[in-house]
């Protein structure tokens, strides 16, 4: 009996060594550490980075030249990110004031640590009187006829987001020649990260679907609706079989057809109201 415990320890140690060797010998086995690192990176991606990642062509490293929706979609993401991080909210709505007529007001001027978000936050802080969500999307996109508001434009957003994804190990940087000029592109480097992002979007409208929109994760809800507004949602659903594709699109349509004014009254939250206001802005 005295030798039982030492013998057990030797057996356990032997098993652990064999398991470790098997893992090292088999490249298809992903360690828990690697999985956790990918999960941590995914958690650190902003809404804007996720939208861009869905829109980028994997090998070419750029978004479709025909996509003229992603620019304003990314600016909508900026407003939602600031709201979800409790930096901005909508002013108190009166009885007759709808979402898109309420003003965006500063809730906290504490930096987020993200350069693009902090640039937008600075603009909101310095703007008096406050502006609506619709106006901010226009100003941040540079799509305004008012020359005094052009200073609010966020420039080179796609390139800056791509560089963020390069720093996070998701993309890489290359130079490609397009006839008369060279262009910096950012092909996909970490395919696992993009696959996980696509899987999360698919599961949100399939396996993890709920008929109560208020039970959905707010960032995922925003990702789905803003991906549609940015014309990149199709990229996440393309791998699905016909049956799942039809079901996924049916559920997305149900989200797009919601009465956002009514939803904001069900569970009032000044920060979440920014999200609903962005949805309303893109539903027009």
Tell me if 216 sits within 8 A of 204, measured CB to CB. Answer: yes
- Retrieve residue 26's tokens: 């088999």
Domain ranges of the chain: 47-283
In Å, how far are 29, 49, 124, 142, 157 from 138, measured between CA atoms? 47, 20, 13, 6, 14
Please write the tens of the pLDDT for every residue from 138-169: 999 998 888 889 999 999 999 999 999 999 99
Instruction: Give residue 272's pLDDT band: very low, low, confident or very high (50, 70, 90).
Output: very high
Of the candidates 93, 95, 91, 94, the residue with the CA atom closest to the CA atom of residue 103? 91
Q: Percent of the chain, pLDDT > 70?
A: 83
How far apart (Å, rounded) are the C-alpha atoms in residues 246 and 229? 19
Give the architecture (CATH level 2) of 47-283: Orthogonal Bundle (1.10)
Q: Percent of the chain, pLDDT > 90?
A: 69
pLDDT at 137 > cutoff 60: yes
Of the candidates 118, 121, 124, the residue with the CA atom closest to the CA atom of residue 149? 124
- Retrieve residue 166's tokens: 């390069």
Residue identified by tokens 């079989």 is 241
Q: What angle do CA 53, 161, 220 make, to 5 degrees?
A: 50
pLDDT at 99 > cutoff 80: yes
In Å, how far are 37, 45, 106, 140 from 40, measured between CA atoms? 5, 9, 29, 29
Which phi and psi angles does 177 have, rounded to 5°? -95, 120
pLDDT of residue 233: 97
pLDDT at 258 > cutoff 50: yes
pLDDT of residue 148: 87
How far apart (Å, rounded) are the C-alpha atoms in residues 52 and 232? 8
Higher pLDDT, 199 or 23: 199
**Facing residues of 146 across strands?**
none
- Model's pTM, two decimal places? 0.83
């Amino acid at each position: 009996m005295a030798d039982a415990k030492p013998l057990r320890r030797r057996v356990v140690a032997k098993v652990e060594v064999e398991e470790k060797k098997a893992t090292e010998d088999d490249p298809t086995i992903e360690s828990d550490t690697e999985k956790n690192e990918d999960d941590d990176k995914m958690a650190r991606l902003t809404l804007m980075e996720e939208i861009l990642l869905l829109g980028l062509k994997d090998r070419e490293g750029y978004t479709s030249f025909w996509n003229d929706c992603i620019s304003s979609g990314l600016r909508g993401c900026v407003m939602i990110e600031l709201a979800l991080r409790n930096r901005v909210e909508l002013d108190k709505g009166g009885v007759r004031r709808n979402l898109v007529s309420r003003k965006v007001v500063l809730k906290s001027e504490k930096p987020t640590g993200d350069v693009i978000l902090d640039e937008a936050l600075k603009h909101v802080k310095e703007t008096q009187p406050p502006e609506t969500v619709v106006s901010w999307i226009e100003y941040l996109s540079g799509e305004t006829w008012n020359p005094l508001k052009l200073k609010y434009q966020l420039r080179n957003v796609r390139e800056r987001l791509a560089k963020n994804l390069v720093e996070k190990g998701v993309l890489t940087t290359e130079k490609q020649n397009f006839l008369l000029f060279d262009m910096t592109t950012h092909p996909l480097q970490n395919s696992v990260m993009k696959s996980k992002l696509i899987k999360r979007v698919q599961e949100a409208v399939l396996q993890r679907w709920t008929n109560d929109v208020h039970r959905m994760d707010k960032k995922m809800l925003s990702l789905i609706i803003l991906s549609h507004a940015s014309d990149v949602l199709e990229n996440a659903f393309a791998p699905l079989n016909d049956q799942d594709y039809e079901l996924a699109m049916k559920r997305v349509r149900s989200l797009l057809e919601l009465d956002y004014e009514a939803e904001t009254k069900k569970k009032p939250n000044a920060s979440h109201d920014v999200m609903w206001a962005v949805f309303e802005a893109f539903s027009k």
